[in-house]
């Protein structure tokens, strides 16, 4: 981002080195949405879920479920209405449905970034489990909310509760069920061979092929990849892999995770060049950041505090 902003500054100062044009032409040749949604997301989600301890996560299943569903919905509403009310302060006016679309898009947290931040911050283990667990499962809820709002925008009709529940069942329920089936099939295949090269390729095939098939079936590919990662990373690691295979599978997916994260965030920083800046846009960006953080603190922060402290008290009383 600093490099991109530096090029913008040099261009504004009249120092035309040709670098900005080269970077812009390269970025315009990349379909960022397809690259992320069809190329990177499945691999990043699987890699993130692969190292999640299901036995520990199970202890916080109700807290994680409440955060992934209820808090994501409340965050979408809070960000949407907050943005809609705040933008006129800087001279920008957006219809409410666009603000709600932004809320649905920004509310589900990125599990890869969340896990990295929590580890860097040295967060307590129980807090890390709850927040990381929520980030793994809230994508499906976000997809459903976004699809409902987008359908309302394109058709002009408000979605019904029945339609919302049907879409939730198809996207989220279908994604979880498909992930369970694919995870079990992958587990059986891993258990049938003892060759680390073949087993690494089986995990890669399950992710790339499974994500494409999930999209074809119109179920949540992100949720399916999370489930497959949990099955392979827990039951598969314990019962279907030798020590050598576990080592190679871990090294392979850690490397994939690091490479794709580097590429992804470099591209995000470079995308700054394609944004048309103005004083009102910059003020709006800062304002929306504040609105989003406040909405997250109100709809998620308090719930997480209750979930973690409540669980700790229950564990101490049980002990």
CATH of region 39-302? 1.20.1530.20
By the 8 A CB rule, do 284 and 92 touch? yes
Show the tokens assigned to 275: 């944004």
Mean pLDDT of 113-141: 75
Q: What is the structure's pLDDT at 40? A: 85
Compute the mean pLDDT over every residue in the chain, rounded to the nearest whole number.
Answer: 82
Helix 41-50 and helix 243-270, axial crossing angle in degrees, nearest 10: 130
pLDDT at 83: 93
Comparing 54-63, 196-205, 307-316, the range with the smallest average pLDDT is 307-316
The full set of domain ranges for the chain reads 39-302
Rounded Cα gap, residues 216 and 248, in angstroms? 31
Cα→Cα distances 36→100, 124, 259, 298, Å: 22, 31, 13, 30
Alpha-carbon gap, residue 171 to 93, rounded angstroms: 32
CA dist 207 and 205 (Å) reads 5
CA distance 177 to 286: 40
Q: Is the pLDDT of residue 90 over 70?
A: yes
pLDDT at 306 exceeding the cut of 80: no
68: its two tokens: 């992934």
More confident residue, 12 or 158: 12
- Which whole number is the average pLDDT over 277-283? 79
Does the pLDDT at position 11 exceed 90?
no
Q: Which residue has the higher pLDDT, 91 or 37?
A: 91
Task: Find out whether 179 and 151 touch, Cβ atoms under 8 Å.
Answer: no
| 96 vs 255: CA distance, rounded Å | 42
How many C-beta neighbours within 10 Å does residue 130 have?
Answer: 26
The residue-averaged pLDDT of 69-90 equals 90
User: Six-digit token pair at 162?
Assistant: 């029945």
């Amino acid at each position: 981002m600093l490099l991109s902003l530096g090029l913008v500054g040099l261009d504004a100062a009249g120092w035309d080195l040709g670098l900005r044009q080269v970077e812009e032409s390269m970025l315009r040749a990349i379909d960022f949405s397809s690259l992320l949604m069809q190329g990177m997301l499945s691999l990043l989600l699987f890699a993130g879920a692969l190292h999640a301890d299901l036995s520990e996560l199970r202890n916080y299943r109700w807290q994680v479920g409440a955060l992934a569903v209820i808090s994501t919905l409340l965050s979408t509403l809070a960000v949407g209405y907050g943005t809609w009310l705040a933008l006129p302060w800087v001279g920008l006016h957006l219809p409410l449905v666009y603000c709600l679309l932004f809320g649905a898009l920004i509310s589900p947290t990125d599990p890869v970034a969340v896990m990295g931040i929590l580890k860097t911050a040295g967060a307590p283990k129980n807090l890390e489990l709850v927040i990381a667990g929520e980030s793994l499962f809230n994508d499906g809820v976000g997809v459903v909310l976004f699809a409902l709002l987008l359908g309302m925008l394109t058709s002009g009709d408000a979605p019904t509760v029945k339609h919302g529940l049907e879409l939730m069942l198809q996207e989220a329920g279908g994604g979880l069920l498909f992930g369970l089936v694919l995870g079990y099939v992958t587990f059986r295949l891993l258990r049938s061979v003892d060759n680390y090269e073949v087993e690494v390729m089986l995990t890669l095939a399950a992710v790339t092929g499974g994500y494409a098939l999930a999209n074809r079936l119109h179920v949540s590919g992100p949720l399916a990849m999370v489930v497959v990662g949990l099955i392979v990373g827990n039951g598969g690691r314990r019962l279907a892999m030798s020590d050598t295979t576990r080592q190679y599978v871990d090294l392979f997916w850690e490397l994939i995770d690091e490479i794709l994260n580097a590429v992804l965030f470099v591209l995000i920083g470079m995308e700054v060049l394609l944004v048309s800046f103005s004083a009102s846009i910059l003020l709006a960006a800062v304002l929306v950041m504040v609105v989003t953080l406040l909405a997250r603190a109100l709809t998620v922060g308090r719930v997480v505090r209750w979930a973690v402290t409540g669980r700790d008290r229950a564990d101490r009383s049980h002990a």
